[in-house]
Chains A and B, each alone.
Chain A
Amino acid sequence: MRSLLHAVLLGLLGAGIVHIIVLLLVPEFSERDAWSRLAMASDLYKMTRLDAEAGGAPVVKSVDPLFYAAACRFDLAEGMVRVKAPGKVPFWSISVYDRGGHNIYSFNDHSATAGVLDTVVLTPAQMIEVRKDLPEELQGAIFVEAPIEEGVFVIRSFVPDDSWKPIVSRFLEQSSCELQDF
């Protein structure tokens, strides 16, 4: 009887250790994280709609129903990435996520020049290179320094009512996510 109690206590102690190990390993081995889900839906540098409105199930869940969103995956090891979207919408916001889905930088249309979405994501090392000789076409862009390689770029845009749906859809569909040579 005592040895049984001993075994159960040992088991509970082990359960605590397993709990901690599993918890820390979940992010490493998850195949259901945002990056993996997007990878199944589209290629690198391709804007993909996240909301259900574009047809099919939403790629990444818990998007506000009054919002449309689009995302693209990038790899800064290949070069910096430039994201642009033409047109005016009531509100847009940007988030840059690392490979594990952590939000490392975010801003909204109040930060942009004249509310136009034009931004470049790059590593600190690439930033130094760009600073030496800033090209004319990048003058108005917002630079996001991110110490990462693989990442996800998300644009969210507010749809106040039905009449805004086509305008916001067009805003997201015309957005581009390109590898920029420098």
Chain B
Amino acid sequence: MLKNAFLTLLSLAIAVGGGGASVWYALKLQDGVGAIRIGQWTAFPDIGTPTADPYSKARVAREGVLALGQAEGLSFIAERDSGGEQLKRQCAYKIAGGFPTARFWTLYAADQSLGVVETGKPRPAALQSYQVLRQADNSVVISVGSRPASGNWLLTSGAGKMYLVLTFYDTPIASSTGLSDLTLPQIQKVGCNA
């Protein structure tokens, strides 16, 4: 009798605990269901729309996100460099390549909650396309790091995990057909200030 009660309790504990924990874990992952990966960059084009999958819907409700609409823009998030290593705030990176068509884009360095990295200086950890210098072939090279760099410099500071958020505004790529043959810039690690 006691054994049966114990087994029932065990089943219930696994069901409730496991079910709850797995939802929590699935919602915490950056790279979830409904993601589109282009190189190192991940986007959720369906997030916040009524046609989104249940995981995106739960994430929207839990985090209070108000996602960008299709006529507004599309955000890409990078978590790793082209070598597959986690981006770190104490490291320097070089972002190089062509950017897809858009009225303008913004790029910022973010912490784990995807808020912009606090630099503690007047210069924010953010760049936008009207202020960048371009190469002769219209591509852009951006140096990311805490040390000043010539050309385009995205200031970061501190240590720990870093995310890069690249958002294109008023762009045709936000409609799903535009995403198929899209190329985004590469993120190369230059060195670390360990």
Contact = CB atoms under 8 A, between A and B. Distances in A.
Interface in B10-54: 10-20, 22-23, 26-27, 48-50, 52, 54
B64 A91 contact: no
Given A27-B61, A61-B63, A61-B115, A19 B22 contact: yes
B66 A95 contact: yes
Main secondary structure of the interface of A (DSSP, over half): mixed
Contact of B58 (A12, A17, A26, A61): A26
A162 to B, nearest CB: 8
B104 interface: yes
Give the one of A18, A58, A108 with max B CB within 10 A. A18
B61 A26 contact: yes
A27 B60 contact: yes
A34 interface: yes
A91 B169 contact: yes
B23 A11 contact: no
A22 B72 contact: no
A110 B172 CA distance: 13
A110 B171 CA distance: 12
A65 B124 contact: yes
Contact of A103 (B15, B67, B108): B67
A19 B65 CA distance: 22
A66 B70 CA distance: 19
B96 interface: no
Given A15-B19, A27-B57, A61-B63, 20 more contacts: A11-B10, A11-B15, A18-B18, A18-B19, A19-B23, A23-B23, A23-B26, A23-B54, A26-B23, A60-B64, A61-B65, A64-B106, A65-B106, A65-B126, A71-B66, A102-B48, A102-B49, A102-B52, A106-B72, A110-B170
